[in-house]
Structure 1
Amino acid sequence: MRIQHMHTTPIYPLDPWQIIETEATRAEFARNATLFALANGTLGVRGALDDNEGDAAGTFINGFYESAPIHYPENAYGFARESQTMLKVVEAAEVRLQINGEWVSPTQLAAHRRTLDMQAGTLTTEQTISAGGQTLVYRSVRLVAQSEPALFVQSITVTSEDFSGEVKLWSRVNADTRLKKVSDDPRVGSHLQGQIFDISKQPLDAHTIEFEQATRRSEMALACAVTHISTPLVVPDHPDDLPTEETFIYAYTLQPGETIRLDKYASYATTLQHPRDYLQSAATQGLQSALAQGVEALIKRQQDDWAAFWHLADVRIDGDDALQQGIRFNLFHLYQSVGRDGRTNIGAKGLTGEGYEGHTFWDTEMYVIPALVHTMPMIVRQLLTYRYNILDRARQRARELGHKKGASFAWRTINGDECSAYFPAGSAQYHINADIAYAVQRYVTVTGDTEFMQTMGAEILIETARLWMDIGGYIDGRGFCICEVTGPDEYTALVNNNAFTNWMAQANLRYAVQAVEALKADAPEVYEALRNRLSLLDDEPAQWAQAADQMFIPYDAARDLYAQDDSFFHKPVWDFANTPAENYPLLLHYHPMVIYRHQVCKQADLVLALYLLGDQFTTEQKRRHFDYYEAVTTHDSSLSACIFGIVAADIGDMPTAYEYFIATARMDLDDTHRNVKDGVHIANMAGTWKCVVNGFGGLRVYKDKLRLRPRLPELWQGYAFNVFFRGAMLRVEVDAHGTTYTLLQDERLTFAHGEQEVTVQAGQPLRLPHSAL
């Protein structure tokens, strides 16, 4: 079915670089707190109002979690044993304004404006307040510093236009942070309730407090040091001596034309980076570094850091302000949420909310990495380093699942252990192992990073290849089959020969063979050391190659279609015509067995293979499969629209591709799935880049060669993006008449423009007409 909610009225005014809120609406506090969140890959702070009206605040540290036993009423061998939940940590962003002893009420706001500036990386609140017929202006600027490990900064000014009287700023630091209660929606909530941490508190001076939070089961700890700089200097009151929070009350007498200012700094340090006994020192050193720079210098550094990102990753759209705003918003959140240290990854909701408990899924390898590898490959290396660092846990999980060799990566995790309590849509999604192998191969192909392949990548490829040999087996008359798995479509579970899984496993096996052969030829000493460490038998690569060559893919000759799995075409098609619109997503309204016994897809499954492995299909094959599977797909997953959009563009259906791109680009900004309050949809955000670059731009990498086939959507005047490949940075600018290629980095680059091989050289832009499909 064609995706719904494509055309909506924008919630925020259209602006190419800013998201602007002009009304503080209580009903939307949680949604706006997600959309106005700030982060730096380590620290994330939700964009709640400064006074935390509506209790929408939340501060998160990437990779910082608590675990808890998973309780099954009916247990079984090999079930996941412990959950992991990313925690809300010390909240330091709350500041409330009091005027002449009275809290400011919404009725006193003569004007309200909040601006998320995506060029500057700041969130600014400006409010004009009427107090007894007199006027004050409240202004707050927030940032989560890109240049510091885990630093939040907030600068507040209150200016009197004609007001005379007392103004107080109540700055609160709260360490008793708690999670949402679990709900009927499996995507939201945690069983960790009540006070989660052991908390200690230590005042350092009149303006500074330090809290420590320690988990009880995962044995993680965190220190947060918070200080204030007041102008004019005043000594704050401390109204209560509570063990889990501290409030600083700064009182000022204000006259017309005067301004008071309060700068607030919060520095975090965790046992992810530091020994437990060094946490307080690390947090206070972070404060000292920030204070030495000052707010203005930190803001300037923030602008420079974001300018560097946009220089590499910006996608320019000429002719559609809504989509231009949408893609930049999505890239902004994608970059600020992604882990960059090799120890952390990126959760399905980034660092913006509690949805999916902060877990990492296959989203990283199938959505995030393809978007970043051509713009910021250094981050992709860190994401794949994270996978290598949890490889031992993946080996252990494979043994728990009964596999004698290989590694089975967790479907959802933070530290590498499986956290999915529902194995039909969790551990059964073995394709994640091939997805990771695909990402390794793509990264090495794009970057030429043989050092990564020799030290980490080859080992991942070998261990995932071994897993397929244990999961699958040969069946007479069919070939190598893989049974009892779940593909990307979670509305079809525990099937035999899911086509996507088998194709991706086939690619995984072949990548592993190539990696072993390359090691033997180029780094024999590395190969010997790895062979001995892994006890790799001489005949294993030949077995992988044979299994790949004999991989079974279900095919229906009467339909001239590949089946999504062995049984898919033997089920009745879901009754879409008589399903009420309010019953989507189906997972919240029907028992899984009702869904499983029908032809109905939650998201792109076989269609995803048409994109990832596109050189294995003709255009006509892609068109037939797209038409069939689109008709039975609900797009209940946010991961679906971008893939259908890319394939629609690939088969030349630009109007349909454009409709899917609209749904992708503005999904969160317009809250079309009605659940942004729980966090953004990171995979879909990465999918926005893919829609433009892989879809309209036609970017593919087949057989180690870069290929582009740009086409222009009818409603646009042009678009532009950058592509990194093998040390070169290529600028691609598309308009109605053709494409201009400009080499921004390196001396020359050879690639395919449509079916034509071309070479662009430094200082010599290349102009070419559009290529036919």
Structure 2
Amino acid sequence: MWRPHDKAILSVPDQGEEGAQAAAPFLSARPPFAIDPSWVLVEAGFDPKYEPGIESIFTVANGYVGTRGSLAERASPSSPVTYLAGVFTGTEGGGGIRKLAELPDWTHLRVLVEGVPLSLDTGTTLDHRRILDLQHGLLFRNWRHQDDQGRVTTLTYVRALCFHDRHLLLQSVTITPENYEGNISIESITRRPQPEIHWSSAAEGDPAVILGRTDRGTTIAMTSRSRLRHEKGLEGAGNGPGEACAEQWTWRAQRGAAVRFDRSVVVYSSREVRDPAGAASDHARRASETEPDAHLLRHAQAWEDRWRASEVEVVGDETAQRVLRFAAYHLHSAVNPQDEHVSIGARALTGPTYKGHVFWDTEIYLLPFYTFTDPRAARALLQYRFHTLPAARDRARRWGYGGALYAWESADTGADVTPETVRAPDGRLVQVLTGIQEHHISADIAYAVWQYWQATADEDFFFAAGVDILIETARFWATRGRVEPDGRYHIRTVIGPDEYHESVDDNAYTNVMAQWTLERAADTVDWLRSRHPEVWPVISERLQVMPDEPESWRRTAALLVTGFDPATNLFEQFAGFFDLEDLDLQPYRPMSVPIDVTLGRERTQRAQVVKQADVVALSALLWERFPVAVHEANFRYYEPRTAHGSSLSPALHALVSARLGEADLAAQYFQDASTIDLSHHGSKAAGGVHIATLGGLWQAVVFGMGGIRLREGGLVIDPHLPSNWDRLSFPLQWSGRSISVTIDREPGQVTVDFRSGEPMTVELSHGSIEEITSPHRYVAHRVGAGWGEWQESKR
């Protein structure tokens, strides 16, 4: 009845009538809309050693807050954390670490039968399942418990962090005594976490409001409203603002009579409003005037809207379909399109690893998903980089450079929060050099700005913010290196994406991306001068652009050392890389521990062992810049030398191998990426889901297997489906147009449904180019190794 996912206790119900019947017991009690069993992820049973990873995977979030999928009664070793996006505690620099703020645990509920708490550690667990409804963003839990007296109680929980109202958090539990009558109590407890935040009750107004104040002076307000639905013998009481705020409800339970407890929580901070306590109290009052099920319905509808714009459908591979839904679920949960001062940390709002810090992951791995499915969200993420541009300018100035050098790890202000040291597996303290040397992030952000602008034609953003980022990052690269006696421009002492090799010179990824940034910034100035003379004087004055700057950027770009050898078509990853020990990694595969642990850091640094896609990443980002032969040569050279010591690596290898026509190799890398969170009982996700990997999975499928590439005026489609995929379809937003693409293996067909927008061109690689219009459908069939002409078709 239950099909396991890989070696995990995670599963989904089987499809069809049998699967629907299996799902029915825990999906019928609520909510007020239909749930498709093929969209749910299930943990069957309970094993405490896997709890940290399961809680990450089952997180519910809405981009403003995120609550880990912990059990209401706090089973050990639970980590019941709710994160508040954009609010950090702790210090910057001097060894201090800024970390994402944690809210009081609003999910804590205890159910007592005749005064004895129900617990998974006592009595007998007859059935226990946690169920994540990916389609509607709901966490269910079904628990049948038999105590030592033989009393059987069924508890059904529902949890939601509302998508239609990001300040509203909902939880309910339905309690049914199956075979007894007696006294049942429920305690709703709010405990205060994090000593860095001082919590107290509101001095006036709503006594249910608790206030927190961070060390930076941010005020957080939380308030709750609870209701118990039962006709007889109801008693309720609440205590004061001590260590834990609590409400207790007690009633005389009747055999088989269900009682439902609903709790709604509202959160505000002084980031959004001047009076968080007043805003929370007013919002909670208004929310309580609407039935919880009505809120759930609006929440579900908001989720369905997002899925219509983003769902990737795979026919022929149910595991891939489930993985892509899981990925998109967490991607949607991580972002708040309404807040342009917040970005997404390396584990989103799902866990403590990296403490909510923002890396290059956001721009390179996450942003394309939002750019092509939710442009408002993409814009908000880029606005975070614009608002933190002053910190990047200050960082470059302090290091003696021009322009803007973005922090390798940033938090709320954009200042660098990279730790100075970390503990190595052998216990040694090791200096962290990424914050000092991994400068390619400034080019990565410029790339994201350009891609967003090309894909959306959002000139309002580009004129007001994007141009500033492009020009200031170009100024940084124009001063980061220097022209040396050989007449070439060198960038020394850096770390590329391959973090096994530190303090290297002329890293190919860094230098090519710097070269690209310099060229695009120069092109932008020329375009503004010629095409938008009405706005250029304002921008030029704002950024103090000198007349000769664009040409100087082009000269620097032309002199930049890239490590490319036209005789072999290879980029040398950095100066001297080809002189290192050429180590065969095959005897070490599969790697249960990172290769730098197996070999030791010193030997790894002396070998041609690559942590993650480095030169190969250039093929993922800049495909049109180089001939296919260059991509082919570099993939063949670097792929066997890559140890995939970072979760970021497999997805980019899937993308590039698909573009090279190696669809089954791409499928293998896709599987490797997908199992990072969803295998080994979720243990690798203990510190939070790997959100960049999830964004990379979407890119691997849409840009790799689906073959989507940007071209001026339209899109290129060059599909390469894995052998077990019968059909792939996905929607895209492009420059104000809405389209969907479907690729069928048999009879070898590509279909484009142009739903809305101005005419655009669609090119099939090795096929025809067609200007298409909405609302029409266009179909092309495979002819030999290429594609036939586009034909307009009826819907």
TM-score under structure 1 length normalisation: 0.91
Cα offset, 1:720, TM superposition: 0.6
Q: Which residue of 2 aligns with 1:191?
A: none
Q: Which residue of 2 aligns with 1:253?
A: 252
* Of 41-50 and 123-132, the range deviating more from structure 2: 123-132
CA distance in 2 between counterparts of 1:753 and 1:71 reads 55
Relative distance call for 1:329 and 1:204 in structure 2 (3 A) is farther
Secondary structure of 1:430's counterpart equals coil
CA distance in 2 between counterparts of 1:442 and 1:532 reads 25
- Does residue 117 in structure 1 map to residue 133 in structure 2? yes
Q: Which residue of 1 aligns with 2:288?
A: 291
1:163-182 aligned within 5 A: 163-175=180-192, 177-178=193-194
Q: Which residue of 2 aligns with 1:364?
A: 362
CA distance in 2 between counterparts of 1:675 and 1:594 reads 26
- Does residue 547 in structure 1 map to residue 556 in structure 2? yes
- Does residue 87 in structure 1 map to residue 101 in structure 2? yes
Relative distance call for 1:587 and 1:170 in structure 2 (3 A) is farther
Gaps of at least 5 residues in structure 1 are 1-6, 73-81, 179-194
Match of 1:638 among 634, 647, 667: 647
Secondary structure of 1:14's counterpart equals strand
- Does residue 753 in structure 1 map to residue 775 in structure 2? no
In structure 2, give the amino acid aligned to 1:666: T
Describe the superposition over 1:71-116 as per-residue Cα deviations: whole angstroms up to 9, x where unpaired: 46xxxxxxxxx53111222110011111112122334321112211
Q: Which residue of 1 aligns with 2:91?
A: 68
Relative distance call for 1:696 and 1:686 in structure 2 (3 A) is same
Maintained 8 Å contact 1:199/1:244: no
Cα offset, 1:238, TM superposition: 4.3
In structure 1, give the amino acid aligned to 2:264: Y
In structure 2, give the amino acid aligned to 1:251: T
In structure 1, give the amino acid aligned to 2:604: I
Maintained 8 Å contact 2:463/2:539: no
1:37-56 aligned within 5 A: 37-54=59-76, 55-56=78-79
Q: Which residue of 1 aligns with 2:428?
A: none
Describe the superposition over 1:3-29 as per-residue Cα deviations: whole angstroms up to 9, x where unpaired: xxxx94353223531101221221111
Secondary structure of 1:313's counterpart equals coil
Maintained 8 Å contact 1:478/1:552: no
Q: Which residue of 1 aligns with 2:197?
A: 197
Match of 2:349 among 327, 351, 364: 351
* Of 286-295 and 588-597, the range deviating more from structure 2: 588-597
- Does residue 667 in structure 1 map to residue 676 in structure 2? yes
Relative distance call for 1:322 and 1:578 in structure 2 (3 A) is closer
In structure 2, give the amino acid aligned to 1:56: S
CA distance in 2 between counterparts of 1:258 and 1:204 reads 40
Relative distance call for 1:36 and 1:566 in structure 2 (3 A) is same
CA distance in 1 between counterparts of 2:543 and 2:758 reads 41
In structure 2, give the amino acid aligned to 1:40: N
In structure 1, give the amino acid aligned to 2:46: A
Maintained 8 Å contact 2:659/2:720: no
Describe the superposition over 1:353-394 as per-residue Cα deviations: whole angstroms up to 9, x where unpaired: 001010111011101111221111111111111110111111
Maintained 8 Å contact 1:347/1:360: yes
Cα offset, 1:578, TM superposition: 6.3
* Of 554-563 and 408-417, the range deviating more from structure 2: 554-563
Maintained 8 Å contact 2:433/2:502: yes
- Does residue 764 in structure 1 map to residue 776 in structure 2? yes
Q: Which residue of 2 aligns with 1:279?
A: 276
Maintained 8 Å contact 1:599/1:632: yes
CA distance in 2 between counterparts of 1:344 and 1:443 reads 18
CA distance in 1 between counterparts of 2:564 and 2:299 reads 54
Describe the superposition over 1:669-727 as per-residue Cα deviations: whole angstroms up to 9, x where unpaired: 22588420110001100011111101111111144541111232111121110121121
- Does residue 479 in structure 1 map to residue 478 in structure 2? no
1:245-644 aligned within 5 A: 245-275=244-274, 278-340=275-337, 341-403=339-401, 405-415=402-412, 416-422=414-420, 424-477=433-486, 479-556=488-565, 560-574=569-583, 576=585, 584-586=593-595, 592-644=601-653
In structure 1, give the amino acid aligned to 2:107: A
Relative distance call for 1:236 and 1:589 in structure 2 (3 A) is farther
Q: Note the aligned Cα RMSD (angstroms).
A: 2.2
Relative distance call for 1:367 and 1:389 in structure 2 (3 A) is same
CA distance in 1 between counterparts of 2:262 and 2:596 reads 47
Gaps of at least 5 residues in structure 2 are 14-37, 421-431, 787-795
Secondary structure of 1:659's counterpart equals helix
- Does residue 154 in structure 1 map to residue 171 in structure 2? yes
Secondary structure of 2:91's counterpart equals strand
Describe the superposition over 1:282-308 as per-residue Cα deviations: whole angstroms up to 9, x where unpaired: 111221232122211111001100100
Match of 2:52 among 12, 15, 30: 30
Q: Which residue of 1 aligns with 2:35?
A: none
Relative distance call for 1:474 and 1:672 in structure 2 (3 A) is farther
CA distance in 2 between counterparts of 1:20 and 1:583 reads 26
CA distance in 2 between counterparts of 1:451 and 1:763 reads 27
Cα offset, 1:321, TM superposition: 1.2
CA distance in 1 between counterparts of 2:661 and 2:388 reads 41
Cα offset, 1:575, TM superposition: 6.0
Q: Which has the higher contact order (CA 8 A, sep 6+)?
A: 1
Relative distance call for 1:266 and 1:544 in structure 2 (3 A) is same
Relative distance call for 1:219 and 1:671 in structure 2 (3 A) is farther
Cα offset, 1:579, TM superposition: 5.1
Q: Which residue of 2 aligns with 1:78?
A: none
Secondary structure of 2:505's counterpart equals coil
CA distance in 1 between counterparts of 2:295 and 2:680 reads 32
Maintained 8 Å contact 1:201/1:243: no
In structure 2, give the amino acid aligned to 1:454: F
- Does residue 129 in structure 1 map to residue 145 in structure 2? yes
Secondary structure of 2:372's counterpart equals coil
TM-score under structure 2 length normalisation: 0.89
- Does residue 215 in structure 1 map to residue 224 in structure 2? no
CA distance in 2 between counterparts of 1:302 and 1:149 reads 10
Q: Which residue of 1 aligns with 2:81?
A: 58
In structure 2, give the amino acid aligned to 1:315: V
Secondary structure of 1:420's counterpart equals coil
* Of 475-484 and 296-305, the range deviating more from structure 2: 475-484
Maintained 8 Å contact 1:648/1:656: yes
CA distance in 1 between counterparts of 2:319 and 2:589 reads 30
Maintained 8 Å contact 2:456/2:736: yes
Q: Which residue of 1 aligns with 2:27?
A: none
Match of 1:17 among 39, 62, 65: 39
CA distance in 1 between counterparts of 2:47 and 2:713 reads 52
Describe the superposition over 1:191-248 as per-residue Cα deviations: whole angstroms up to 9, x where unpaired: xxxx222221249999x732212122x2222111122112237443346x56331122
* Of 143-152 and 417-426, the range deviating more from structure 2: 417-426
The number of residue pairs the alignment matches comes to 735
Cα offset, 1:763, TM superposition: 4.0
Maintained 8 Å contact 1:203/1:210: no
Secondary structure of 1:93's counterpart equals coil
In structure 1, give the amino acid aligned to 2:307: W
In structure 1, give the amino acid aligned to 2:779: R
Describe the superposition over 1:599-621 as per-residue Cα deviations: whole angstroms up to 9, x where unpaired: 21110000000121112222232
Describe the superposition over 1:251-310 as per-residue Cα deviations: whole angstroms up to 9, x where unpaired: 1111123221211111111122122xx121111122123212221111100110010000
CA distance in 1 between counterparts of 2:224 and 2:643 reads 47
Maintained 8 Å contact 2:661/2:720: no
In structure 2, give the amino acid aligned to 1:98: L
In structure 1, give the amino acid aligned to 2:90: S
In structure 1, give the amino acid aligned to 2:69: G
CA distance in 2 between counterparts of 1:527 and 1:648 reads 42
In structure 2, give the amino acid aligned to 1:339: N
Question: Identity of counterpart residues, as a percentage?
Answer: 29
Describe the superposition over 1:128-160 as per-residue Cα deviations: whole angstroms up to 9, x where unpaired: 233433433211111000111322110111123
Maintained 8 Å contact 2:584/2:641: no
CA distance in 1 between counterparts of 2:586 and 2:137 reads 46
CA distance in 1 between counterparts of 2:336 and 2:549 reads 35
* Of 349-358 and 710-719, the range deviating more from structure 2: 710-719
Maintained 8 Å contact 1:226/1:265: yes
